[in-house]
Amino acid sequence: MEQIGLPGSAQETGLVGGVGGADWSGTPQQGGMGQYQPNPLQGTASQNPMALNASNDPDAGDQELMIDWDVWRNNLMQAIQSGTLAKINVQNDVHFVWDPGRQMMVTRYPNGTSAWYTLAVLPDRRIINVRLTQTSRFPTYDQAVLQAINDLQGNNLLTYPRGSRRQIVSQEANVRTAGQSQSQNFQFGDVERQRY
Protein backbone atom coordinates (compact mmCIF):
# COMPACT_ATOMS: atom_id res chain seq x y z
CA MET A 1 0.00 0.00 0.00
CA GLU A 2 1.52 3.29 -1.06
CA GLN A 3 1.37 5.99 1.58
CA ILE A 4 1.37 9.63 0.61
CA GLY A 5 2.15 12.29 3.20
CA LEU A 6 -0.37 15.11 3.13
CA PRO A 7 0.34 18.49 4.71
CA GLY A 8 -1.98 19.51 7.48
CA SER A 9 -2.26 21.26 10.78
CA ALA A 10 -4.35 21.00 13.90
CA GLN A 11 -5.27 23.58 16.47
CA GLU A 12 -6.39 23.14 20.04
CA THR A 13 -4.84 19.70 20.27
CA GLY A 14 -4.72 19.87 24.10
CA LEU A 15 -3.47 16.30 24.45
CA VAL A 16 -2.81 14.73 27.79
CA GLY A 17 -1.58 11.25 28.42
CA GLY A 18 -0.67 8.78 31.06
CA VAL A 19 0.29 5.19 31.45
CA GLY A 20 -1.18 3.15 34.24
CA GLY A 21 0.35 0.14 35.87
CA ALA A 22 3.67 0.25 37.64
CA ASP A 23 4.65 -3.33 36.80
CA TRP A 24 7.89 -2.78 34.90
CA SER A 25 8.92 -6.45 34.94
CA GLY A 26 8.26 -6.71 31.23
CA THR A 27 4.63 -7.78 31.34
CA PRO A 28 2.34 -5.89 28.97
CA GLN A 29 1.90 -2.31 30.06
CA GLN A 30 -1.51 -0.79 29.58
CA GLY A 31 -1.81 2.88 28.83
CA GLY A 32 -4.57 5.34 28.28
CA MET A 33 -4.67 8.63 26.53
CA GLY A 34 -7.45 11.17 26.46
CA GLN A 35 -7.91 14.64 25.17
CA TYR A 36 -9.59 17.72 26.40
CA GLN A 37 -12.70 18.60 24.46
CA PRO A 38 -13.31 19.74 21.77
CA ASN A 39 -10.86 17.26 20.26
CA PRO A 40 -12.61 14.27 18.74
CA LEU A 41 -9.79 11.75 19.22
CA GLN A 42 -8.87 9.49 22.09
CA GLY A 43 -6.64 6.47 22.29
CA THR A 44 -5.30 3.57 24.29
CA ALA A 45 -2.12 1.57 24.04
CA SER A 46 -0.34 -1.54 25.17
CA GLN A 47 3.27 -2.56 25.11
CA ASN A 48 3.91 -5.53 22.90
CA PRO A 49 4.82 -8.37 25.31
CA MET A 50 6.82 -10.13 22.59
CA ALA A 51 9.09 -7.10 22.12
CA LEU A 52 10.23 -6.59 25.68
CA ASN A 53 10.42 -8.75 28.74
CA ALA A 54 12.69 -8.83 31.74
CA SER A 55 14.97 -11.45 30.20
CA ASN A 56 15.75 -9.63 26.95
CA ASP A 57 15.28 -5.91 27.71
CA PRO A 58 18.72 -4.33 28.20
CA ASP A 59 17.10 -1.24 29.78
CA ALA A 60 14.95 -3.12 32.33
CA GLY A 61 17.26 -2.53 35.30
CA ASP A 62 17.31 1.28 34.99
CA GLN A 63 14.22 2.81 36.63
CA GLU A 64 15.01 6.33 35.39
CA LEU A 65 15.30 5.01 31.85
CA MET A 66 11.93 3.29 32.26
CA ILE A 67 10.42 6.69 33.10
CA ASP A 68 12.07 8.16 30.00
CA TRP A 69 10.62 5.36 27.90
CA ASP A 70 7.18 6.04 29.34
CA VAL A 71 7.46 9.68 28.22
CA TRP A 72 8.80 8.58 24.83
CA ARG A 73 5.84 6.25 24.24
CA ASN A 74 3.32 8.90 25.25
CA ASN A 75 4.95 11.45 22.94
CA LEU A 76 4.81 8.97 20.07
CA MET A 77 1.13 8.18 20.60
CA GLN A 78 0.24 11.87 20.98
CA ALA A 79 2.06 12.73 17.75
CA ILE A 80 0.15 10.02 15.89
CA GLN A 81 -3.14 11.26 17.34
CA SER A 82 -2.33 14.88 16.44
CA GLY A 83 -1.34 13.86 12.92
CA THR A 84 -4.55 11.87 12.49
CA LEU A 85 -6.60 14.77 13.81
CA ALA A 86 -4.94 17.13 11.32
CA LYS A 87 -5.77 14.81 8.46
CA ILE A 88 -9.43 14.22 9.35
CA ASN A 89 -10.02 17.86 10.28
CA VAL A 90 -9.40 19.24 6.81
CA GLN A 91 -12.03 21.83 5.97
CA ASN A 92 -14.06 21.42 2.78
CA ASP A 93 -12.97 17.82 2.50
CA VAL A 94 -14.76 14.51 2.37
CA HIS A 95 -14.37 14.11 6.13
CA PHE A 96 -17.32 16.41 6.91
CA VAL A 97 -21.05 16.12 6.19
CA TRP A 98 -24.04 18.35 6.87
CA ASP A 99 -26.15 17.35 9.90
CA PRO A 100 -29.61 18.86 9.38
CA GLY A 101 -30.67 18.10 12.96
CA ARG A 102 -27.81 20.10 14.44
CA GLN A 103 -27.63 22.56 11.52
CA MET A 104 -23.89 22.23 11.22
CA MET A 105 -21.08 20.37 9.49
CA VAL A 106 -19.95 17.31 11.46
CA THR A 107 -17.31 14.67 10.97
CA ARG A 108 -18.46 11.70 8.96
CA TYR A 109 -16.86 9.31 11.43
CA PRO A 110 -19.33 8.28 14.14
CA ASN A 111 -18.51 8.47 17.83
CA GLY A 112 -16.28 5.60 18.87
CA THR A 113 -14.66 5.07 15.45
CA SER A 114 -11.40 3.31 16.19
CA ALA A 115 -8.35 1.98 14.37
CA TRP A 116 -5.65 -0.08 16.10
CA TYR A 117 -2.11 0.06 14.75
CA THR A 118 1.18 -1.61 15.50
CA LEU A 119 4.66 -0.41 14.60
CA ALA A 120 8.30 -0.74 15.53
CA VAL A 121 10.92 1.99 15.84
CA LEU A 122 14.63 1.45 15.26
CA PRO A 123 17.44 3.45 16.93
CA ASP A 124 18.03 5.38 13.68
CA ARG A 125 14.47 6.82 13.95
CA ARG A 126 13.03 4.60 11.22
CA ILE A 127 9.52 3.25 11.68
CA ILE A 128 9.05 -0.28 10.36
CA ASN A 129 6.42 -3.02 10.40
CA VAL A 130 3.52 -0.56 10.34
CA ARG A 131 0.12 -2.16 10.00
CA LEU A 132 -3.43 -1.83 11.19
CA THR A 133 -4.40 -4.68 13.49
CA GLN A 134 -8.03 -3.57 13.54
CA THR A 135 -9.50 -1.22 10.95
CA SER A 136 -12.12 1.42 11.57
CA ARG A 137 -14.24 0.31 8.58
CA PHE A 138 -13.64 3.80 7.12
CA PRO A 139 -10.78 3.63 4.58
CA THR A 140 -10.13 7.39 4.76
CA TYR A 141 -9.85 7.24 8.57
CA ASP A 142 -7.50 4.25 8.40
CA GLN A 143 -5.40 6.03 5.78
CA ALA A 144 -5.20 9.13 8.01
CA VAL A 145 -3.78 7.01 10.84
CA LEU A 146 -1.22 5.37 8.52
CA GLN A 147 -0.22 8.72 7.03
CA ALA A 148 0.20 10.24 10.49
CA ILE A 149 2.59 7.42 11.36
CA ASN A 150 4.47 7.69 8.05
CA ASP A 151 4.87 11.46 8.52
CA LEU A 152 6.97 10.75 11.64
CA GLN A 153 9.68 8.86 9.73
CA GLY A 154 13.07 10.22 10.86
CA ASN A 155 11.50 12.71 13.28
CA ASN A 156 13.65 13.64 16.31
CA LEU A 157 10.69 12.62 18.47
CA LEU A 158 11.71 9.02 17.71
CA THR A 159 15.19 9.41 19.20
CA TYR A 160 15.63 6.79 21.89
CA PRO A 161 16.16 8.06 25.45
CA ARG A 162 19.81 8.72 26.29
CA GLY A 163 21.54 5.61 27.57
CA SER A 164 19.14 3.11 26.02
CA ARG A 165 20.62 -0.08 24.62
CA ARG A 166 17.43 -1.31 22.93
CA GLN A 167 17.70 -2.31 19.27
CA ILE A 168 13.98 -2.11 18.49
CA VAL A 169 10.87 -0.84 20.26
CA SER A 170 7.36 -2.04 19.40
CA GLN A 171 4.18 -0.13 20.12
CA GLU A 172 0.53 -1.03 19.66
CA ALA A 173 -2.16 1.57 20.22
CA ASN A 174 -5.40 2.89 18.84
CA VAL A 175 -6.79 6.20 17.75
CA ARG A 176 -10.53 6.62 18.16
CA THR A 177 -13.10 9.34 18.02
CA ALA A 178 -14.70 10.42 21.28
CA GLY A 179 -17.36 8.11 22.66
CA GLN A 180 -19.98 10.84 22.73
CA SER A 181 -20.49 14.31 21.39
CA GLN A 182 -20.49 17.07 23.95
CA SER A 183 -21.10 20.74 23.64
CA GLN A 184 -18.78 22.93 25.62
CA ASN A 185 -19.71 26.25 27.18
CA PHE A 186 -16.95 28.62 28.19
CA GLN A 187 -17.10 31.00 31.16
CA PHE A 188 -15.50 34.21 29.99
CA GLY A 189 -16.32 36.40 33.00
CA ASP A 190 -16.65 39.25 30.53
CA VAL A 191 -19.25 41.87 31.38
CA GLU A 192 -19.94 44.67 28.97
CA ARG A 193 -21.45 47.79 30.52
CA GLN A 194 -23.32 50.34 28.48
CA ARG A 195 -24.49 53.80 29.41
CA TYR A 196 -27.99 54.84 28.48
Give domain status of residue 12, yes or no.
no
Q: Has residue 168 got a pLDDT over 60?
A: yes
SS3 content of the chain, % helix, strand, coil (to 5): 20, 25, 55
195 domain residue, yes or no: no
138 in a structural domain? yes
pLDDT-derived band of residue 45, with 50, 70 and 90 as boundaries? low
Q: Are 15 and 78 in contact (CB under 8 A)?
A: yes
DSSP 108: S
Percent over 70 (pLDDT), the chain: 55
Q: What is the pLDDT of residue 185?
A: 56
Say whether pLDDT at 42 is over 80.
no
The answer to whether residue 20 sits within a structural domain is no
Whole-structure pTM value? 0.63
Domain contains 44: yes
Q: Tell me the sheet residues that pair with 76.
A: none
Parent domain of 79: 30-177
At residue 125, the pLDDT reads: 98
Residues whose CB is less than 8 angstroms from the CB of residue 41 and which lie 6 or more positions away in sequence, other chains included: 35, 81, 84, 85, 175, 176, 177, 178
Position 194 in a domain: no
- d(C-alpha 15, C-alpha 181), whole Å: 17
Average pLDDT, the chain: 73
Q: What is the pLDDT of residue 56?
A: 85
Q: How many domains does the chain have?
A: 1
pLDDT digits (tens, 9 = 90+) for 114-130: 999 999 999 999 999 99
Is the four-CA dihedral 147, 143, 51, 67 of positive or negative sign?
positive
171 contact partners, CB below 8 Å, separation of at least 6:
45, 47, 48, 73, 76, 77, 118, 119, 120, 121
Q: How do residues 5-30 score in pLDDT, each as one tens digit?
A: 444 433 333 333 333 333 333 333 33
- The string of pLDDT tens digits covering residues 58-67 is 998 899 999 9
Is residue 160 in some structural domain? yes
**pLDDT tens digits, one per residue of 72-94:** 999 999 999 999 988 887 655 56
Cβ proximity of 120 and 51 under 8 Å: yes
Q: What is the mean pLDDT of residues 47-67?
A: 73
73 within domain boundaries: yes
